[in-house]
Structures are given as C-alpha cells and as structure tokens.
Amino acid sequence: MKGIRARLVIHFGLILLLIVLLLEGLFYWAVHTYYFGTAAETLVTRSVTFTNFINKYTSGYRLKDKARYILENISKEENAKIEVLDLSGKVILNSYGFQTAEVIDTPDVSEALQSGSGLYVGKSPQTKERVMAVSHPLTYLGDHVGVLRYSVSAEPLDAAVYRIALYGAGVGTVVVVFAFSLSLIIANRIVGPIQELTRAATQMATGNFSARARKRFDDEVGTLAETFNYMAEEISKNEQMKNDFISSVSHELRTPLTSIKGWGETLISGGLEDKEETLLGLEVISKETDRLIGLVEELLDFSKFQSGEVKLLTERLDLRDILEDVRIQFAVRSQEKNVTLDVHLPGSPLPVSVDPNRMKQIFVNLLDNAFKFTPGGGTIEVALQTDQTHVRVSVRDTGEGISPADLPHVTEKFYKGQSRQPGSGLGLSICRELVRLHGGQFEVASTRGEGTTVTVVLPLAKSLGGI
C-alpha cells in the first residue's frame, strides 16, 4: 500500500487512535473517580458518625477505656478494620481485639491530628496491600488523645475498575479496527478515480488520445476528471489539426515545387529557344515562388506568435494610406479575375497608432481570402465606420460564404474546414492575433451562399499634425 491511500489510512487511523486513547483515559479516570469517590465518601460518613458518637458518650474516658468501649460497640455487620491509635500512631486495639503494638505512620493519621480528618489511599506499610483509610481524632476533656482509624482493602475496587477498563479497551479496539477498515474504504473511493486518471494520462502519454477518465462522483476529483477529459478532447483536436496541417502544408509545398521543377526541366530541355514558352515558364516559376515565400512567412509568423517574439514597431499614420496601398496592390488581380473591388475611404484622416507593415499584412491577407472565394462577376467591398474612439474596417465579399459549422473555428490555427482552396489555415489566425496586439477586435460573420464579412476594429489615435 503506497501513496495517497497509505497516507490517508495512516493519518486517519492515527488521529482516531489518539482520540480513542484520550477517551479511554477519560473513561478510566471517570470510573476510577466514581468508584473510589463513592467508597471514600461512604467510609468517611461511617467514620465520622462513629467517632462523633464515641467522643460524645465517652468524653470522660481515657484512651484505653475508649478503646474497650469501641470494641464492645462495633457493629457485627461492620466490614472495615477499625483501629485505635495513640498520638504516636501506635495501635492500642483493633476491631479484632488484638493489641499489635505496630506503629502506623500513614498521612491520614497526622492529617487527622492536624486538621480533624485524614484520608489515605495506597499501600499498607505492614501488609503491602492497597488500602483506603480514614482517620479522625479521639478526645478526652477536649484534647486529642488518640486516633480512630477506619480502613478497607482497595484491591476489590482496583479489580472492578480494571475490569471495566478492559471492557472499554475492548470496545475501543473494535472501534479502531472498524475505523481503519472504514478509512481504507474511503481512501479507495478517493484514490480509485485518481488512479483511473493516472492510467488515462499514461495512455495519452503513449499516444492514445482517445483515453478518457470516468467521472464517479460530483466532487473535486470528478471536476478534475471533467477537466482532464476536456483537455484530452482539445489535445485530440490539436493532434488532428496538426496532422491536417502537415498534410496541407506538404501539399501546399509540393504543388508549387512540382510546378517549378516541371517548368525548370521544360525550359532546360527546350534550350530557351522558344521565347514565349520561356516567358510563360518564368512567370509560373515566379508566381509559385511567391506562393512558397508567403507560406514560409506565415509559418514564421506562427512560430513567433507561439514563442511570444512578435514585436510591433508602431507609428502614427493615416489608416487611409494603408488601405489605398492595398487597393492599388489588388487592382490588377481585380481586373484579371473580373471581380469588382470597391474601397470607400472617408474624406477626413483616420489617425491610428499601428505597425504599418503588420497592418498592411492584415488587410492583404483579408483581401487575398476574399479574392480566393469570390467568383468572377462578384464584388469585394471595403467600408469604414468611425466613432469618437474607434474605426471599423469591414471587408465584405459576395463569395460562397462559410458554413455555420466552420464559422466558429475559422480563426483557429491550421483550421481549413470544408475549404478546398490552397493555404496553410494560418491566415485568419495570424490576423486576429495581430489585431489583438494592436488593441483591437477581430470579427467574422458569414452566410452560406451569400458571402463573408470580416471586421477589424482599431482604436483611434490623437490627430496627426499636418494631415
């Protein structure tokens, strides 16, 4: 038995054992006090009564006369040993009629002469037997002349107390054994789910991401099981996303490389004699190279975001300048694909504090996606709205739209959903992170078959001098 189970059982058992021992001690003390207290009270009452009687009716008797009178008037039912002592503790006469001449120097004798009453519980110096003795002074004409001592054996009381204590110890032992058994059951109920969690975690560590922990109870361990299962689901999703990403990136890398290699071999074998074919091949190679560069840049950006190394080089500028540059950049693509690109810029400046390169990257990525998914004859519109603190830039297209199932996930890393368009699945994720770093908001809305609207909300800066 190791670990938490052992600690729970041992700690719980030790605490319970200490409690039982404490209760046993209190119980023994209470029983001992009750038995001996009752016996002492009875003996004191009898001694006081008889001593007062003797002192009252034999006040003119000397000690030896008192002793004979006491011997003559002892009840036959009296089971205590009665002794008459002189002031030195010497036995003048006892209830058996003997003059032993032994000296009794137990504390009760001196206490009786000093304070009028004495009680002693302990071993008899003569018999070595445990006794209980009560002493009171005998008087002659008002002066102490001796001591009347009552004594009984305390061993029957000790035996009775010991017997009751044994019964109590037996009950305590049963309680401790039962408590240990109960603590073992409780420990198993606590440790069992944890062991199951450990097994599931071990399976996950070996690559089995389908492992799940069963929630047994609605407590902290049950909450831990739920959290573990949620983590397992997220890991499974990320693992699947990683596999999809590797497959997608492999395909994305292979396609342009195949085109580059194919055209390279064609140009080499053709000897560069056909000028038109050579130019076409070089154009394809250039475009495919640009695709590769874009893919690698996205991967590099993703790596920087993961490691927290992205730093913005912000400056104050007019957001209209960036949007105008992007419009000019996509003007040729708009004509080639027969897609109308409308960029509505306000007449007044839009001062923002941004990293111009990163901000341009955001809108280039958004417009690139819009052109990918908008068929010929469609429209892409860039609209702006401002208030006192923010500017909203919306990129709206009339493309195929995004399905409701894919919409909540389009900004997740590597997620491509049902799309068959080329790409790494990192574009929108990178855009969202860049907007967040600028203190803005990133929103995506879409209707299947009608188009998609991506909105970037940025905080406005103070007015720019000279604009």
Three-state SS string across 30-72, please?
HHHHHHHHHHHHHHHHHHHHHHHHHHHHCCCCCHHHHHHHHHH
Directed axis angle between helix 427-437 and helix 356-373, to 10°? 150
End-to-end C-alpha distance for the chain, whole angstroms: 78
Q: Which regions of 73-197 does DSSP assign to beta strands (E)?
A: 81-86, 91-94, 118-123, 130-140, 143-153
Domains of the chain, earliest start first: 3-159 (3.30.450.20), 241-307 (1.10.287.130), 315-459 (3.30.565.10)
Kindly calculate the radius of gyration of the chain based on its CA atoms and give it in whole angstroms: 52
Q: How many CB atoms lie within 10 A of CB 461?
A: 16
Q: Strand 379-386 and strand 340-343: pairing?
A: parallel
- Would you state the pLDDT for residue 203? 81
- Would you state the pLDDT for residue 313? 84
Q: Helix, strand, or coil here: 358? A: helix
- Would you state the pLDDT for residue 382? 92
Mean pLDDT by 10 residues, the chain (467 residues): 71 84 89 88 89 85 85 81 88 82 86 90 83 90 87 87 88 85 79 78 79 75 80 78 70 70 75 71 78 71 66 88 89 88 89 89 87 89 90 91 82 64 67 88 89 92 60
Residues contacting residue 100 through CB under 8 Å, at least 6 positions apart: 91, 94
Q: Helix, strand, or coil here: 363? A: helix
Q: How many CB atoms lie within 10 A of CB 389?
A: 7
- Would you state the pLDDT for residue 455? 93
Q: The tokens of 453 are what?
A: 């609207």
